[in-house]
Amino acid sequence: MIDPDILLIAMVELTEGVRNLIGDRGANAVLRDAGRHSGPKLLESLIGHLPEVLDKEEALRRSCMLIEELGFAKKVSKEDGKIVVEDDIFSDAMRNEEIGKSPIIYFFMGLIEGFVQFMSEDKVVLSPEEIKKGRFVFAYS
């Protein structure tokens, strides 16, 4: 069986390869869309269909819990119009580059947006406010 850490490093390197191929803005857009697409697919494969449609705030709250439960971060909380992510899995997989410049952040935002879309008829859009190794703060609307 392959080591999950190796898969994570490969994923981060894949995002960097996409950035090298199509540039920062293109990679950010493509990877965000990939996260938006994979979030609902992941949840559907894990839990099937939800018996109810949640409002956006409750879907965000549950998305934070799911990110933790699935192991993407040790702590994720929704506070005053922001999502705060602590001890994410991507930071450790980064090599020489500052994580704030990596398109992996946009994949992560898209993943959360996709989770919310799966649980709610409302869409949410995240934007990075503070990105540093081990701590992400996203505003949402």
The β-bridge partners of 54 are 120
The CA distance from 96 to 92, in Å, is 11
Residue 88 reports pLDDT greater than 70 = yes
Residue 99 reports pLDDT greater than 90 = no
What's the mean pLDDT in 115-126? Answer: 94
The CA distance from 99 to 79, in Å, is 22
Residue 2 reports pLDDT greater than 80 = no
Q: Which tops the pLDDT comparison, 55 or 98?
A: 55
Residue 33 structure tokens: 């869309």
Q: Where are the alpha helices (DSSP H) in 4-55?
A: 4-47
Q: What are the residues whose beta carbons fall under 8 Å from the beta carbon of 64, sequence distance 6 or more?
A: 76, 77, 78, 83
pLDDT band at residue 96 under the 50/70/90 scheme: low
> 38-87, pLDDT tens digit by residue?
999 999 998 887 778 999 999 999 999 999 999 999 999 999 999 999 99
* pLDDT (0 to 100) of residue 78: 95
The domain 4-140 is placed in CATH, from the list 3.30.390.50, 3.40.50.1950, 3.30.1380.20, 3.40.50.720, at 3.30.1380.20
Phi and psi at 98, nearest 5°, equal -70, 130
Q: What are the residues whose beta carbons fall under 8 Å from the beta carbon of 140, sequence distance 6 or more?
A: 60, 81, 82, 83, 124, 125, 126, 127
What's the mean pLDDT in 11-30? Answer: 93
Q: What is the pTM of this model?
A: 0.91
As a whole-number percent, the residues of the chain with pLDDT over 70 amount to: 99
